[in-house]
């Protein structure tokens, strides 16, 4: 039986945990699994909460813990031969900044499993923070919008009084903030220059649903993309507009009908972006889609540069919850954190500067949004991970890969096994530094 370790997180503001104390108690009593918790002073659940349920508090480097769970990337000197590390590695797209870490995992002879690749037969993720990124992302985007409007001297500005999400004690308090915002929208109204005030959502998955859940607490009406040009000004409501794939792209051949599976299979070889025609109607864009270079961008730098000179422009902020640097939103040129959640993309200088001032759109690009509601998001994540932990505890990771007895979902999520890239990820070899 493997001992499961929970590593401490190194990134600022990252207080989430992969397994909460309540679930450790259930796993220990039901499966006799031993847990070792690395000491940390920035965890949403304290050491005393883990000790109370019988977990051992102990440094993990050099310990008996041989299956180690984390959230974000682990320090490059942390990996040891023969051990199994499970976290969001941000390596599967050959992200350059994490290739040295991937090389280290290979060099020491360790195993890497990525939560993001634990999927069902339809490719849907099974271990995730659910809608918490969307919930926090919507809140932070509207709060930052308030700061931007204040910097521009635009009023009325009902968003200006919003509390930072991290300062809310829990989700209940965050909802109270939104109820208060809704009352201010009804009483003060929205600025005339930004009405009709449209909040657009790219995508309709877990992240988008979380963001929509927050917006739904405010006075709003839902409209279709096809009806955006017909909206009337209303200073006391927001308009919610959800964009699906057939709104965001179209076949390169005009005579070809849109086919969702065909689009997923062929991407830019047969389809091109078609979203930018909707941007003039949006004040806020919440970007919630999964993106890879196989697919067209949502908004390009060339478009935003030309659009920014439009006298009737409404767009003020992009809540880029997906946070793919230079990805679907090409001018998301950097990520941010909860301490400085936004940057302004300076149109003329092609760079992003922290804050909300400057000639260009504001981008909220916090790359670990669920950490702003750490206890609730950790509980949700732990619930999705729970059923996989006994499998990890019982597996023999010393046998050849072909003989490894592990569920299909977990085995397919292995990127490196005993220091070797598995077949599905051999393509990463060309990106690993020598």
DSSP string, 411-433: HTTEEEETTEE-GGGGGGGGGS-
Each residue's pLDDT tens digit, 340-381: 999 999 999 999 999 999 999 999 999 889 999 999 999 999
Question: Per DSSP, which regions of 160-237 are E strands?
Answer: 198-202, 220-223
Each residue's pLDDT tens digit, 165-183: 999 999 999 999 999 999 9
Q: Which residue has the higher pLDDT, 4 or 124?
A: 4
Q: Could you tell me if 7 and 68 are in contact, meaning their C-beta atoms sit under 8 angstroms apart?
A: yes
Reported as type and span, the H/E element at residue 207 is: helix 206-215
Q: Is the dihedral of CA 416, 421, 422, 425 positive or negative?
A: positive
Three-state helix/strand/coil letters over 119-132: ECCCCCECCCCCCH
pLDDT at 222: 98
Confidence grade of residue 257 (pLDDT, cut at 50, 70, 90): very high
Q: Looking at the predicted structure, is the pLDDT value of residue 93 above 90?
A: no
Integer Cα distance of 224 and 237 in angstroms: 16
Averaged pLDDT, 120-135: 91
pLDDT at 335: 94
Averaged pLDDT, 78-90: 97
Coil, helix or strand for 148? helix
Give this prediction's pTM: 0.86
pLDDT at 177: 97
Helices (H) and strands (E) in the chain, counts: 12, 18
CATH code 3.40.50.720 region(s) in the chain: 4-117+374-422, 132-372
pLDDT at 94: 86
pLDDT at 419: 98
Looking at domain 132-372, its CATH class is: alpha beta
pLDDT at 434: 82
Q: Looking at the predicted structure, is the pLDDT value of residue 130 above 80?
A: no
Enumerate the β-bridge partners of residue 251: 271
Averaged pLDDT, 274-288: 98
Integer Cα distance of 197 and 157 in angstroms: 13
Strand-by-strand arrangement of the 317-320 sheet: 220-223, 238-243, 198-202, 284-287, 317-320, 362-364, 342-346, 351-354
Confidence grade of residue 67 (pLDDT, cut at 50, 70, 90): very high
Averaged pLDDT, 251-273: 96
Q: Looking at the predicted structure, is the pLDDT value of residue 241 above 90?
A: yes
Q: Looking at the predicted structure, is the pLDDT value of residue 237 above 90?
A: yes
Q: Looking at the predicted structure, is the pLDDT value of residue 329 above 90?
A: yes
Pairing of strands 111-114, 414-417: antiparallel
Reported as type and span, the H/E element at residue 190 is: none
Coil, helix or strand for 21? helix
CATH superfamily of 4-117+374-422: NAD(P)-binding Rossmann-like Domain (3.40.50.720)
């Amino acid at each position: 039986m493997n001992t499961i370790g929970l590593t401490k997180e190194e990134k600022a503001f990252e207080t989430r945990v992969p397994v909460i104390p309540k679930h450790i108690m259930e796993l220990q009593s039901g499966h006799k699994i031993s847990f070792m918790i690395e000491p940390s002073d920035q965890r949403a659940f304290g050491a005393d909460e883990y000790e109370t349920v019988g977990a051992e508090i102990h440094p993990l480097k050099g310990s008996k813990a041989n299956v180690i769970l984390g959230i974000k990337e682990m320090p490059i000197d942390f990996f040891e031969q023969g051990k199994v590390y499970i976290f969001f590695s941000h390596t599967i797209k050959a992200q350059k900044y994490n290739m040295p870490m991937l090389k280290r995992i290979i060099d020491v002879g360790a195993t890497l499993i990525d939560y993001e690749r634990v999927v069902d037969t339809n490719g849907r993720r099974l271990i995730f923070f659910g809608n918490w990124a969307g919930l926090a992302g919507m809140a932070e985007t509207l709060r930052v919008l308030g700061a931007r409007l204040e910097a521009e001297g635009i009023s009325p500005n009902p968003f200006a009084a919003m509390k930072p999400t991290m300062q809310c004690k829990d989700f209940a308090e965050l909802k109270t903030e939104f109820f208060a915002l809704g009352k201010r929208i009804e009483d003060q109204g929205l600025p005339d220059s930004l009405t009709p005030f449209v909040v657009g959502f790219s995508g309709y998955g877990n992240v988008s649903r979380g963001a929509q859940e927050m917006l739904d607490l405010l006075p709003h009406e839902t409209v279709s993309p096809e009806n955006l040009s017909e909206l009337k000004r209303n200073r006391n409501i927001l308009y919610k507009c959800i964009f699906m794939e057939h709104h965001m792209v179209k076949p390169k051949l005009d005579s070809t009908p849109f086919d969702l599976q065909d689009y997923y299979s062929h991407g830019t070889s047969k389809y091109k972006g078609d979203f930018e025609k909707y941007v003039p109607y949006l004040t806020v864009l919440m970007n919630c889609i999964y993106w890879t270079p196989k697919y067209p961008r949502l908004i390009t730098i060339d478009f935003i540069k030309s659009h920014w000179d439009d006298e009737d422009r409404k767009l003020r902020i992009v809540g880029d919850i997906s946070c793919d640097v230079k990805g679907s939103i090409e001018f998301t040129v950097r990520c941010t954190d909860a301490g400085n959640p936004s940057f302004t993309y300076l149109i003329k200088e092609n760079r992003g500067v922290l804050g909300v001032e400057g000639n260009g759109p504001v981008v909220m690009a916090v790359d670990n949004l669920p950490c702003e509601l750490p206890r609730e998001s950790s509980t949700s994540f732990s619930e999705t991970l729970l059923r996989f932990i006994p499998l990890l505890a019982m597996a023999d990771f010393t046998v050849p890969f072909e003989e490894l007895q592990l569920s299909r979902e977990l085995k397919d999520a292995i990127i490196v096994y005993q220091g070797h890239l598995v077949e599905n990820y051999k393509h990463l070899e060309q990106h690993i530094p020598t």
